Amino acid sequence: MDMMAVATIEHDAELMLRVREGDSQSFALLLAKHRTPVIHFLYRMIQNQAVAEELAQEVFLRVYRSRASYEPTAKFTTWLFRIASHVALNHIRDGKHERNQESLDQESDEGMSRQVASEAPTVEQMMVREAKFEEIRRAIQLLPAKQRAAVLMHKYQEMEYAQIAAALESSESAVKSLLFRAYETLRAKLAHMAGRE
């Protein structure tokens, strides 16, 4: 698994180095591979699918504009999520996001419920699962923006502390502190769900 991860890292960095040299086909490959995870991350930060897709375009535009100065000093995904974090945090800080996205949230829930279901659940089980996803998503959405970004990168993107620290331009200890506070808040808000099926 580690060797596979290393090969992937090297491949992404190699593609980006080709982009730096003017290879647009390599950029198309990077875009195809990373667009969906970036949109998912942005959606979880912003809670608006259309805005997440717009912001993803901005992220990849910034990646392309930065191609001349790209150096593979960190994992490509760390560099990519640093850009995505900046875009999302700037968007939140500028107050451009909308708070009520009920229909989009429900569409996402249905997709998540389908992904999680390993056997054919009953309608009641699906409704309970959907309600849990909604409650967890709302709890994450209420976290301060930097804590939310750290949680999303840690849990959904499965990034390590060092990668998250690089993406958020902070120290590993600051990331651990952000995650500790975020998980404590989430545990307190979601404690009533423990053991409930």
pLDDT number for residue 106: 42
Residue type, 38: V
For range 44-67, the mean pLDDT: 92
| pLDDT classification of 136: cutoffs 50, 70, 90 | confident
Residue 95 vs residue 68, higher pLDDT: 68
pLDDT tens, 28-41? 999 999 999 999 99
pLDDT number for residue 34: 94
pLDDT tens, 7-26? 544 689 999 999 999 898 99
Residue % of the chain over a pLDDT of 90: 51
| pLDDT classification of 132: cutoffs 50, 70, 90 | confident
| pLDDT classification of 120: cutoffs 50, 70, 90 | low
Quick check: 73 pLDDT over 60? yes
Ranking 64-73, 95-104, 171-180 by mean pLDDT, the lowest is 95-104
In the Cβ-directed half-sphere of 172, how many Cα atoms lie within 13 Å? 5
pLDDT tens, 163-197? 999 999 999 999 999 999 999 999 898 888 765 54
Range of the domain at 110: 2-193
CATH (domain of 105): 1.10.1740.10
Q: What is the DSSP string of 129-153?
A: HHHHHHHHHHHHHTS-HHHHHHHII
The residue behind tokens 């805005």 is 51
**29 neighbors 95 (Cβ within 8 angstroms):** no
Burial letters 126-158, b for 16+ CB under 10 A, else e: beebbebbbeebebbeebeebbbbbbbbbeebe
pLDDT number for residue 122: 76
Domain count, the chain: 1
Mean pLDDT of the chain: 81
